[in-house]
Amino acid sequence: MFKKILIANRGEIACRVIKTAKKLGIKTVAVYSEADKDARHVELADESVCIGPAPSRESYLVMDKIIAACKQTGAEAVHPGYGFLSENEEFARRIEEQGIVFIGPKHYSIAAMGDKIASKKLANEAKVNTIPGWNDAIESAERAVEIARDIGYPVMIKASAGGGGKGLRVAFNDKEAFEGFTSCRNEARNSFGDDRVFIEKFVEEPRHIEIQVLGDAHGNAVYLWERECSIQRRHQKVIEEAPSPFISEETRRAMGAQAVALAKAVKYQSAGTVEFVVGKDQSFYFLEMNTRLQVEHPVTECITGLDLVEQMIRVAAGEKLSFTQDELRREGWAIECRINAEDPFRNFLPSTGRLVKYQPPVQTLEQSVPTLAGEAYEGGAFGGVRVDTGVYEGGEIPMYYDSMIAKLIVHGRDRNDAIAKMREALNAFVIRGISSNIPFQAALLAHPKFVSGDFNTGFIAEHYPTGFRAEDVPHEDPTFLVALAAAVNRKFRDRAAGISGQLPGHGVQIGIDYVVVTLGPEGRHTHTPVSVEANGSVSVKVGDKLYVFRSDWRFGETRIVGACNGQPFAAQVERLGLTIRVTHNGTRIDTLVLSPLGASLHKLMPYKAPPDLSKFLLSPMPGLLVDVAVQPGQQVQAGEKLAVIEAMKMENILVATQDCVVDEILAAKGESLSVDQPIIRFK
């Protein structure tokens, strides 16, 4: 076994690998860029080496710097995590040539599976189902149309070197095939320097289901069941679960057997994932093989009780797999939500900055000790909650890397139990200072189609075609939110009444009757009369409904955990001036809890309209202003480029929404912008 390994990555996956290494008694080396000098993975590792400036192309992607860090620290092996250099065959080969072990597959396996055209040919030879299509590079748009007709519409046009949704089009007719081929080719040339394009059958109502495989250097290979990854936004996974609620045991076994056949065909030695697209009739076709650890590996760890990082390290050290296919267990149901630094209400634009508050839910599952659901956890609860993260409260979310803050994983008895656990865990996850996609995750988990398991890869595009809005999260009991605001207000009133030195006859009166004013847009507020009494617990009557709250919540805490009418709940409450903000199950309300007289006077208050900002171009997100494309005095047409902002590996082009004349440039190229910061003023 290795004595010291280097982790050629950052963020949550670097922290994840360090935890398992510590469990195995292996020393760890972290590498970091200048932007990550105070990052969590640097703190957790035994040693750390700075490998360059913030941009990843000058640090985490520079092979020479990582090899030098190995030599400097005496690391015997490198774990690449995911992303960055994890699927780079040259990196794997160079590491091995230096006498360092690559904790992952051999470079020839990475090469065989890295090229989409070559990998499909290999899959065919290994008798793995592949989508009907044309797997050689296509020379012209006219030929693309002929091939598309032969396969039968709809077809998918894909760049061979594509990824992350780039170089991909779906065509339903000759015109779309002609245009799609041309734009795919251009996009592939610009993004990957490789303009080869191929065409395959487009599977309708497709599901994205992947099989986790594990192989060793002794010719053994097994599959660790499947993961359902169909909930995607712009080809990026949002929620993953294991097992899949869709496929039958027969399909599961057939997919697993084909995944193992492919792994053996490329002499695969490590953890890897074979991705399939599955049609509504359970027909399944090979998509690609990911020759690395997946972001969503924890759900497989939960249902099998295996530590996949540990298995990768053991295989790399030359050990045989310690179990056979027949010995693998599958228990319970696991779900993972990716918690990202993005604003769901602003079309998921990146949100960078300081984590003013970061309080994940209480963990009952440890990252490097994935316990099977059949065993009891702390407190005797079945299943548990796990948080894989690379951040901490007070830390910075830099603009240079991807937007993931954490992965929230739950393990339950069955799918409904796991969904209920995940909803409670999301309620208890406190993030402030930056925006997160937690409200969107809460909405997805409550959607009846998700709960019933009736979804495919088009789920988000179909149900949220114009983006995500606050009203897309209907709360199953809106009066609960009103009652909770009243209960919290009662705690504040009790404290105020108990302050000593109040003028006799003029002290704070608590009272029973209140009106909860739920603040709405443009002064359209809702008034709800309530009765509140406190006697150990707080009882709130709203109409004919009674809510009895018990909680040891203290002032200043954002998270409130307790019981309502005997049922456990978690929510978030904040006092902002006179406003009490309540967040639960993805729904947020701002309230004023007033006396009946105060509420009647509040109704008379005139609505104060916000200032008119239509003459300004505002930054929709925090980021780096990389270009201002206009000058003062310039006449601009609607749709014309005004500025470009870069954040989290994404470039966002801001365009004019109407014809206008530029009056003044308010921000300079190269400036770091905050959200809503003015960039340009128009006349």
Pairwise CA distance, residues 575 & 556, whole Å:
8
Hey, what are 211's tokens?
A: 């099989």
DSSP code string of 582-595: EEETTEEEEEEEE-
Active-site residue, 288 included: yes
* Cα–Cα nearest to 195, from 227, 147, 243, 160: 160
* Cα–Cα nearest to 184, from 116, 113, 118, 119: 116
Q: Does residue 549 contact residue 484 with C-beta atoms inside 8 Å?
A: yes
* Cα–Cα nearest to 350, from 625, 621, 651: 621
Place of tokens 């909680």: 551
Pairwise CA distance, residues 262 & 187, whole Å:
30
Count other Cβ atoms within 10 Å, centred on residue 665: 17
**How far is CA 393 from each of CA 3, 366, 432, 572, rounded to the nearest angstrom?**
32, 20, 9, 17
**Residue 531 neighbours by CB under 8 Å, 6+ apart:** 512, 513, 514, 540, 541
DSSP assigned state of 382? B
Whether the ω angle into residue 370 lies within 30 degrees of 0, i.e. cis, is no
DSSP H helices, 344-477, are 415-427, 438-446, 448-451, 459-463
Pairwise CA distance, residues 496 & 409, whole Å:
40
Hey, what are 11's tokens?
A: 């963020």
Q: Is 334 left (phi over 0), alpha (psi -120 to 50) or beta?
A: beta
Q: Can you name the residues that pair with 50 across neighbouring β-strands?
A: 32
Hey, what are 95's tokens?
A: 């590491």
Hey, what are 193's tokens?
A: 């320097």
* Cα–Cα nearest to 416, from 296, 529, 332, 311: 332
Count other Cβ atoms within 10 Å, centred on residue 250: 9
Residue 459, classed as helix, strand or coil, is helix
End-to-end CA distance of the chain: 69
Residue 148: burial class (beta carbons within 10 Å; 0-12, 13-18, 19+): buried
Among 240, 288, 424, 574, the one annotated catalytic: 288
Active site residues: 288
